[in-house]
Amino acid sequence: MTSSPLRTAVIAGHPLTFDVHGSAENPTVVLLSGWCQDHRLFDPLLPHLADTHHVIRIDWRGHGEDRSPVADFGYREQADDVIAVLDELGIGTFLPVSTSHGGWANVEIADRLGTARVPRSLVIDWIMTPAAPEFLAGLEASQDPEHWTEARQSLFDVWLAGSSHEIVRHHLEKEMAAFDYEMWARSCRVIADAYGRWDSPLQRMQAMSEHRPMRHLFSQPSAPEYVQAQADFQAAHSWFSYRQVRGETHFPTLDSPGVVAEEIRSCTSSSAV
């Protein structure tokens, strides 16, 4: 395995942290976290991939080593940044793999670049259906400067789902909790606005100019109606598929990295990325 330390690319005036692992002769996988997370979300996954894939982890603006305040941005700007970094690195065809609401940027990237460069995509634990009222209420509460930490803890409790998984707890309590009110409030507003515009990620995928295989890997929610909604969508759209992971938490890359790596290998071997 070959790798590089964290690097910084300045894109549109913003320093973006990224790293590269594995040989460029192997299929390229670009790992994209959700909001208020960074490249460390994929630490347990790297050992499963770096010998067989060219793995690039890119932190969103304001999420990397430099946490200085940044001007407002959303998933379109996130897509701008990722494409610019990949262009600077000379990356051609690749598989984007995103977690949670990093999926909005994932689909934006794929839609802009087309199937020739992004022949398929993998999204992880992203709420595929229209946002439930209680979820939207949590997003709104997380934008309240007086009560945002309590609202954030409520989200943490849902994502942890009663698990005592040490790596996941560290990720929540030390890594995600290190982001300030400004970024949390921004993330919740951007996510709410995305559901307001597109209704659901499934509808956003359907609106893409070119369809390619899109796969959803998830643990939460596990409700039968949520799984059925994806089964119904898959039946009507042959390019969409899903797999339910029996993981403990909202973070398959942390609690089920072997399963995530298996899905990535399947995607890259099928699409010859």
Using the Cα atoms of residue 69, residue 73, residue 74 and residue 77 in order, give the sign of their dihedral: negative
Answer for the pair 129, 204: CB distance below 8 angstroms, yes or no.
no
- What 3-state class would DSSP assign to 182? helix
The Cβ of residue 201 has, within 10 Å, a number of other Cβ atoms equal to 23
Nearest to 35 by CA among 96, 90, 106, 141: 106
Instruction: Note if 250 is an active site residue.
Output: yes
Q: What angle do CA 53, 57, 63 make, to 5 degrees?
A: 170
Spatial strand order of the sheet with 28-32 comes to 7-11, 14-21, 54-58, 28-32, 95-99, 121-124, 214-218, 240-244
- Retrieve residue 130's tokens: 């229209």
Burial of 189 (0-12, 13-18, 19+ CB in 10 A): middle
Q: Which one is catalytic: 101, 171, 216, 250?
A: 250
Answer for the pair 36, 46: CB distance below 8 angstroms, yes or no.
no
* Gap between the Cα atoms of 243 and 241, Å rounded: 7
Q: Which residues are catalytic?
A: 250
